[in-house]
């Protein structure tokens, strides 16, 4: 069940956010989904800083859906930040981006991405993709224990 989960969606495109939320609704994703629109905000959220200080309202995500091309800090920088911090480094990060450049794919894995998905264009494929994410990352995969020692 995905009810123990919390998703952080890092995405600057309002269109994509809307389409993703629609696809999640259709796929019956029931866990909370928090959305931040740039790299700085993503880090702020993960640190529990500023507007995200309340960990009850903004719990640590069990899954981060991360776009690469973001305003301010890029997805790569967010990934690096995550992997460099003891509390955050085990967080599951699925890159979800429009780029299918092999350079970007390689970079993402080098920096510790758990998965790399390309946003589909063909109608209906977005639903399929979100369904896959839910089935695998939320329902099948066993995430690391949240407060395990580093």
Partner 1 sequence: MWIGFGVSTGLLIVFSVVVLSLLRSIEHDIAEQSDVARPRSLAAKQLEVGLLGYALAVRTFYQTGDPRFKQTAAEEAAQVRQHLAEYERLASSTEQRELAARFASQWREYEEFAQSLLKADRLSIRDSERLARLRIALERFVDEEMQGEADRSYDARRERTVGHLRGILGGLVVLLGGGLLLAFATSIVVSRGIVRGERALSREHGQLEAIIQAMADGVMVFDMSGNAIVVNDAQARLIGYENADQMKRNREYFADRFELADLDGNPVPVDQWPVSRVLRGESLREWQLAVRRKDVPRHWVISFSAEPVRNGEGDQILALVVSRDVTRRKENEEQLRDSEERHRLASNIAGVAHWDWDLASGTIHWSGEFRQLYGMDPAAGPSYESWRAAIVPDDFPKLDRAIQQAIAECGTYRVEFRIRHPERGVRSLLGAGRAIPGETGAAARLIAVSMDITELKQAEEEVRRLAESLERRVDQRTAELAEANFEMQAFSYTVSHDLRAPLRGIQGFAHALVEDFSASLGDEGREYCQRISAAGERMEDLIEDLLDYSRLAQQEIVMKPIELQVALDEALQQLQEQIGRTQAQISVTQPLGTVLAPPAVLIHVLQNLLANAVTFVAKGQCPRVRVWSQKMDGHLRLNVEDEGIGIEQRNLQRIFNVFERLHGDEAYPGTGIGLAIVKRAMERLGGTCGVESTPGKGSRFWIELRKV
Beta strands across the sheet bearing 7-10: 33-36, 7-10, 63-66, 92-97, 115-118
10 binds partner 1 (CB under 8 A): no
Dist CA 124 CA 62 (whole Å): 26
In the complex with partner 1, the residue whose CB is nearer, 15 or 54, is: 15
Examine residue 28 and tell whether it contacts partner 1 (CB under 8 A): no
What burial class does residue 140 get, using C-beta atoms within 10 Å of its C-beta: 0-12 exposed, 13-18 middle, 19+ buried? exposed
CA distance 48 to 33: 16
Structural contact between residues 145 and 64, judged by C-beta atoms closer than 8 angstroms: no
Q: Of 61 and 75, which has the nearer Cβ to partner 1?
A: 75
Residue 36 φ/ψ, nearest 5 degrees: -125, 150
Residue 19 as a binder of partner 1 (CB under 8 A): the answer is: yes
Per CB under 8 A, contacts with partner 1 among 78-137 are 97-101, 119-124, 126
Stretch 32-71: interaction string toward partner 1, x if CB under 8 A: -------------------------------------x--
Q: How far is the CB of 110 from partner 1 (least distance, A)?
A: 17
Residues forming the site for partner 1 (CB under 8 A):
13, 15-16, 19, 22, 69, 97-101, 119-124, 126
């Amino acid at each position: 069940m995905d009810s123990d989960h919390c998703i952080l969606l890092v995405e600057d495109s309002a269109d994509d956010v809307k389409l993703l939320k629609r696809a999640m609704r259709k796929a019956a994703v029931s866990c909370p989904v928090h959305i931040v629109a740039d790299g700085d905000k993503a880090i702020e959220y993960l640190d529990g800083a500023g507007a995200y200080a309340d960990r009850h309202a903004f719990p640590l995500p069990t899954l981060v859906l991360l776009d690469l091309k973001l305003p301010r800090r890029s997805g790569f920088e967010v990934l690096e930040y995550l992997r460099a911090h003891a509390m955050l480094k085990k967080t599951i990060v699925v890159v979800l981006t429009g780029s299918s450049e092999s350079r970007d794919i390689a970079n993402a894995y080098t920096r510790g991405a758990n998965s790399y998905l390309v946003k589909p264009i063909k109608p209906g494929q977005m639903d399929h993709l979100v369904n896959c994410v839910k089935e695998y990352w939320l329902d099948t995969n066993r995430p690391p224990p949240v407060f395990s020692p580093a």
